A = this chain, B = another copy of it.
Amino acid sequence: MNSADTLDDEDTFKILVATDIHLGFMEKDAVRGNDTFVTLDEILRLAQENEVDFILLGGDLFHENKPSRKTLHTCLELLRKYCMGDRPVQFEILSDQSVNFGFSKFPWVNYQDGNLNISIPVFSVHGNHDDPTGADALCALDILSCAGLVNHFGRSMSVEKIDISPILLRKGSTKIALYGLGSIPDERLYRMFVNKQVTMLRPKEEENSWFNLFVIHQNRSRHGASNYIPEQFLDDFIDLVIWGHEHECKIAPTKNEQQLFYVSQPGSSVVTSLSPGEAVKKHVGLLRIKGRKMNMQKIPLKTVRQFFIEDIVLADHPNIFNPNSLKVTQAIQNFCLEKVEEMLENAERERLGNPRQPEKPLIRLRVDYTGGFEPFSVLRFSQKFVDRIANPKDVIHFFRHREQKEKTGEEINFGELITKPPSEGPTIRVEDLVKQYFQTAEKKLQLSLLTERGMGEAVQEFVDKEEKDAIEELVKYQLEKTQRFLKERHIDAAEDKIDEEVRHFRESRKKNTTEEEEEVREAMSRARAHRAQSEDLSSEFSVDDLASIDMAEQMANDSDDSISATSNKGRGRGRGRRGGRGQNSAARGGARRGRAFKSARQQPTRSATSKNYSE
């Protein structure tokens, strides 16, 4: 199919990489309802056509924590259609699968199950949209896993420590250590990294012969002090990080700041918010790994709905828009009409080259009306485009530069927060709202038995994940815990004594954030025993004695669609027709790999992040 094929041999892993497919997003929408299903079909077909060894997903396969029947049904249908068949799987797994898939009822890789004829195994971590919830700590991926169609890995729900055991894969002479970490609230994971509670286990034998691939689903760009995972937190020995969660396609691997490893951010395969990052063309990746060399071939997705976004600042055009003119609103409207028509023309021109793309594009015109202008009625404007735009109702988005307002005390205006347009400005979490509410509430409304954090998380579970019992479970758990405390201290005296003890108990809990967090997690999920068990199993590695190939440079690849990771961030990377990109690659420092690790069998090898990261 393309020149890269000549590189494919019995030592080369071919992996289709995708993240954030968000199956079921807007499934009720008459126009956009099928978009995610069509694109999953495209992605799986690409995997089949390219004869990949496996598919690697970086989380958020589903948009909803509890996907609709239709979404689940379609997903099963497509996986069964494309990932089952007679083509043999060409790689083997060397690690202990009962550790890798310890949470599953069928703790082994699906293609080795004698009852299932799998041609393309899918490996996936869960994202924040489809993470495990409820007393049974199951997620939507587990349904697919139980049906034998997906290998869900990278699960770790402990708040005390995370040991990431890799899946060890071998194809010919190439060995991949595949690490995964399903989505965890960013602040929690941040703190665990800082407290050295995150450990990546390494095979004890021939440590340097492995290509270390890590799949993570977290905020990559900074949202507040600790609401993201800085790349510096990650272990040096990693070769490539597949970073899920971020929707902007930056799939070409780039070196991180310290020049120690590469990061590829595939981005979502559907536009879920009308923001600039989503307007970047969507791709999946065909990742080739041979020995310790890699190559990421970008594959443009052809079924993704077009999305064009433009900004207008009215105040920048004093010659056209005079805020004092009577006809200014008409002028603005005409200008916007022209602008949208222009964007539609662009869309049509581009679509000519791609008949598989849905007809109606997504269009967004952001109009900054700071400076005394008035927004016009969007309703009538929208109606003009009902038949030509997929999102007629929100084509125009008026906004003003935010003026710094004086703080009016501690009061929260819930109404204001809720009517805030989505995908603009920092996201406000339900959890924080609840916390703020109870902290600023009148004395008599303040919580005495329950904790704000607990309530916050429970409400969040309830809202985000339709987890109907989350609040009830928390209340029950914390009530029982308080009763236990009182019993232990033999408080069965007068009522005021009890009040005092409860207050005391509460204060003591507040001081210990970790403990409280732990408690909340426990309340949310009673399935901890099972989890702890599989976490404590030490991974047994039986690695064959293969020559370790040093990863000196990227594989050369001059095909049109392909981008090789470059060695310097600063060096411009082109898209499309540019030859000889393989020469851009550079040797990676060999010294850091000289670190001595203990045998994983005697004592799990740890390489906990030792860097001090400070904000």
Contact = CB atoms under 8 A, between A and B. Distances in A.
A134 interface: yes
A76 B147 contact: yes
- Counted per complex, copies of this chain come to 2
B134 A69 contact: yes
Contacts of A148: 80, 147
Interface stretch (A47-55, A137-145, A496-504): A137-145
Contacts of A118: 115
A305 B80 CA distance: 38
**Residue in A28, A76, A105, A117 whose Cβ sees the most chain B Cβ within 10 Å:** A76
**Residue in A66, A80, A85, A139 whose Cβ sees the most chain B Cβ within 10 Å:** A80
A8 to B, nearest CB: 25
Given A80-B146, A80-B148, A147-B76, A69 B116 contact: no
Interface string A148-186: 110000000000000000000000000000000000000
Contact of A106 (B69, B80, B142): B80
A572 interface: no
A117 B110 CA distance: 13
A570 to B, nearest CB: 47
B80 A134 contact: no
A85 B115 CA distance: 6
Contacts of A69: 66, 134, 136, 138-140, 142-143
A136 B80 contact: no
A469 to B, nearest CB: 7
A538 to B, nearest CB: 27
Contacts of A115: 80, 84-85, 116-118
A77 interface: yes
A28 B526 CA distance: 13
Contact of A136 (B70, B136, B146, B469): B70
Contact of A469 (B28, B84, B114): B28
A485 to B, nearest CB: 22
A313 B85 CA distance: 66
B80 A147 contact: yes
Contacts of A4: none
A73 B117 contact: no
A138 B73 contact: yes
A359 to B, nearest CB: 21
A134 B149 CA distance: 26
Contacts of A114: 86, 117
A120 to B, nearest CB: 12
Nearest to A72: B143
Contact of A70 (B72, B138, B149): B138
Contacts of A469: 28
A148 to B, nearest CB: 7
19 contacts: A69-B140, A69-B142, A69-B143, A70-B134, A73-B105, A73-B136, A73-B138, A73-B143, A73-B146, A76-B143, A76-B146, A76-B147, A80-B147, A84-B115, A85-B115, A86-B114, A115-B116, A147-B148, A147-B149
Given A69-B142, A70-B135, A115-B116, 20 more contacts: A69-B134, A69-B136, A69-B138, A69-B140, A69-B143, A72-B143, A73-B105, A73-B136, A77-B105, A77-B106, A80-B106, A80-B146, A85-B115, A86-B114, A114-B117, A115-B117, A115-B118, A116-B116, A116-B117, A147-B149
